[in-house]
Structure 1
């Protein structure tokens, strides 16, 4: 059984694709994989800008 977050992501991808008129299940799965891959890469490689530790209002 898939976890709740996977089920929500699957429903999100399917709903998004179906509202665009997509009927091919393989394309829906590919869209979900692309979305998750992009999200994972952003989490792995995004580095927030370094702060000096000095408040902005000083």
Structure 2
């Protein structure tokens, strides 16, 4: 397991969670539904990004 694949999925999860959190905090209150949306955004980004492999390096 390479660090690059883990790092890109963690960063994607943080970005998705931050985007969902910024949207949820617009009214200064985070409801249960918004919290669930933030968690699902993070988990979805982790799963999708981790499942897609990095492009193989070429010797060019």
Shorter chain as normaliser: what TM range? 0.3 to 0.5
* Structure with the greater alpha carbon radius of gyration: 1
TM-score (norm 1): 0.46
Structure with more relative contact order (C-alpha pairs < 8 Å, separation 6 or more): 2
